[in-house]
Amino acid sequence: MVIFASQGDPRRTMALLWRDTGSAAAPDRRPGPRPGLTLDAVVAAGIEVADVDGLAGLSMRAVGERLGRTAMALYTYVSDKAELLDLMYDQVHAELVADTADGADWRTALAAWAAESWDFHLRHPWVSQVSMTRPVLGPNENAAMERLLRILRPTGVSARRTRGIVGALTHLVRGAAAMAAESRQAARETGQSEADWWYARSPVLAAVAPDYETRFPLLTWLEAGRDAADDDAVGYMENEARQALAEGLKVIVAGIDVSRTPSDTI
């Protein structure tokens, strides 16, 4: 279920990631029929399939079909499904390397980063399902991280603490965006909107747990504080996720601000 990237030959995958076509460049004319596809085309097709049908829909057959080939044809360009996913992962991260709020206050720049990351994950919902424990180590993944560090640099927080904060920010954005993306995906795949889903379950819950309000008083209090108008536009869960990101970011920024000390500098 969780996809572990980078299992094949590291040398090969790394060369493809950094598009190191070999020290002697490409010999270019070799015997055999000319390739009808390119690696970039295969990766792009993979991204298109995953964007629409999720990681579950990313099959070699589906990618091949999009390119007018069979599944096995892809193995000419890519050694593995895992390698394809590595390349897809790094490719989409190119969308996150540009510093859009260059020179702005770090709080502003961080907010811009979070907003862009949110959009990014909604565009490519499968990204948040790829495990982070075996980083792909591609150029774009590195560049995207470098950008976040450039934003946090002016806070003067130490390297040690910065690593923790980067992790916390990443988990927050990933988690919130994943929830929103899955909410949309679930509605599409199951053909049941969130409202429908809730209307079907709410009375059943009430029937099966008639003492809900006394048993879970704080949950009841929490629900009572909702502004239903917000939900209609984007759906309950997506709204919750958006709020979690906004509130989490706010609280983290406040926490960084208050905990900055001279000893943290550099």
54-93: which residues touch DNA (CB under 7 A)?
A: 58-62, 64, 68-73, 75-77, 80-82
Choose the one of DNA, a second copy, none that binds residue 59, judging by a C-beta under 5 to 8 angstroms depending on kind.
DNA
Of the residues 29, 191, 214, 228, which one makes contact with DNA according to CB under 7 A: 29
88 vs 97: CA distance, rounded Å: 15
Of the residues 79, 80, 107, 139, which one makes contact with a second copy according to CB under 8 A: 139
Q: How many CB atoms lie within 10 A of CB 168?
A: 13
Q: Does 39 bind a second copy (CB under 8 A)?
A: no
Choose the one of a second copy, DNA, none that binds residue 209, judging by a C-beta under 5 to 8 angstroms depending on kind.
a second copy
Q: How many CB atoms lie within 10 A of CB 235?
A: 19
Q: Does 203 bind DNA (CB under 7 A)?
A: no
Q: Does 31 bind DNA (CB under 7 A)?
A: yes
Q: Residues with Cβ < 8 Å from 46, sequence gap 6 or more?
A: 58, 63, 84, 85, 87, 88
What are the phi and psi torsion angles at 130 (to 5°)? Answer: -85, 130
Torsional class of 22: left (φ above 0), alpha (ψ -120 to 50), beta (otherwise): left
For residue 7, the 8-state DSSP code is -
Q: Which residues pair with 130 in a beta bridge?
A: 3
Choose the one of DNA, a second copy, none that binds residue 248, judging by a C-beta under 5 to 8 angstroms depending on kind.
a second copy
Whether 97 contacts 144, CB under 8 Å: yes
Q: Does 189 bind a second copy (CB under 8 A)?
A: yes
- Between 167 and 186, how does the x/- string for binding to a second copy read (CB under 8 A)? xx-xxx-xxx--x--xx-xx
Q: What is the 3-state secondary structure (H, E, C) of 80-103?
A: CHHHHHHHHHHHHHHHHCCCCCCC
Q: Which stretch binds DNA (CB under 7 A): 10-18, 25-33, 173-181, 217-225?
A: 25-33
Q: Measured between alpha carbons, how far is residue 227 from residues 22, 59, 164, 233, 236 in Å?
A: 58, 41, 34, 12, 10
Q: Does 35 bind DNA (CB under 7 A)?
A: yes
* Of 78 and 172, CB closest to DNA: 78
Footprint (CB under 8 A) of a second copy, residues 82-111: none
Of the residues 80, 166, 231, 264, which one makes contact with a second copy according to CB under 8 A: 166
Q: Does 258 bind a second copy (CB under 8 A)?
A: yes
Choose the one of DNA, a second copy, none that binds residue 149, judging by a C-beta under 5 to 8 angstroms depending on kind.
a second copy
Q: Does 20 bind a second copy (CB under 8 A)?
A: yes
- The letter for the amino acid at 234 is V
Of the residues 26, 208, 228, 233, which one makes contact with a second copy according to CB under 8 A: 208
CB of residue 214 to DNA, shortest distance in Å: 35
Q: Does 22 bind DNA (CB under 7 A)?
A: no
149 vs 155: CA distance, rounded Å: 10
Report how many residues bind DNA under the rule CB under 7 A: 27
Q: Is 3 helix (H, G, I), strand (E, B) or coil?
A: strand
